[in-house]
Structures are given as C-alpha cells and as structure tokens.
C-alpha cells in the first residue's frame, strides 16, 4: 500500500479540520471528474431532481446551474476522479 509523507499527512489533517468546521447543514458537493468540486445548496435537492426528471438528458450539474443552486467552486491542484460505488 502507498504511504503518505509526513507533510501530506499534516496537510490532510488540517484540511479535514477545516471541513469539519463547516457552519452549514445545506452545503453539498459534486464533481464531474476534473480538478473542481462544486458546492451547491442541498436544500434545493428536490427542485434539482425535478428539473432532471423533466429533462432526462440533463446532467446533474446542469440542473444545479438551471436551478441557480450553485454556491461556489473549489479548485484543487490535482485531479478529482468522479466514480460511483
């Protein structure tokens, strides 16, 4: 198994601490498999899914944009793969 360096472990620990401090219950996130994580308003989830139901070819991110539920985008300096399961 690959191992983290001491610097990597420290950075991950600090990052997790910042994430754990989130002051909101409505933030949710998705990625399309690039270096970005998009944050959106999870309280709009039903409306976003209704938009997708009405537009079967529409991707989730496009439905978020259509609903104006996008809140922010975080850019990482590394690839974030989009996987399921």
| pLDDT, tens digit, 9 for 90 and up, residues 23-79 | 999 999 999 989 999 999 999 999 999 999 999 999 999 999 999 999 999 999 999
- List Cβ neighbours of 5 (8 Å cut-off, separation of 6 or more): none
The helix or strand, by DSSP H or E, that contains position 62, with its residue range, turns out to be: helix 60-66
Q: Is residue 47 part of a domain?
A: yes
Q: Is residue 7 part of a domain?
A: no
Tally the domains of the chain.
1
Q: Could you list the residue range(s) of the whole structural domain that residue 66 is in?
A: 24-85
Q: Is residue 4 part of a domain?
A: no
Judge whether residue 85 has pLDDT over 80: no
Say whether 78 sits in a helix, a strand or coil.
coil
Chain centre to alpha carbon of residue 52: 18
Q: How confident is the model at residue 84 (pLDDT cuts 50, 70, 90)?
A: confident
Q: Is residue 12 part of a domain?
A: no
Q: Is residue 46 part of a domain?
A: yes
Q: Is residue 33 part of a domain?
A: yes
Average pLDDT score over residue span 13-17: 97
- C-beta separation of 76 from 36 below 8 A: yes
- pLDDT confidence of residue 83: 87
> Which residue do the tokens 């308003």 mark?
41
What are the distances in angstroms from CA 35 to CA 11, 73, 74? Answer: 18, 10, 8
Q: Is residue 5 part of a domain?
A: no
Q: Is residue 28 part of a domain?
A: yes
């Amino acid at each position: 198994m690959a191992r983290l360096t001491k610097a990597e472990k420290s950075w991950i620990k600090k990052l997790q601490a910042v994430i754990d401090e989130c002051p909101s219950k409505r933030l949710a996130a998705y990625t399309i498999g690039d270096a970005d994580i998009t944050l959106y308003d999870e309280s709009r989830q039903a409306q976003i899914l209704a938009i997708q139901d009405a537009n079967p070819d529409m991707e989730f991110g496009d439905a978020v944009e259509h609903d104006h539920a996008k809140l922010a985008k975080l850019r990482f300096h590394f690839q974030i793969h989009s996987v399921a399961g």
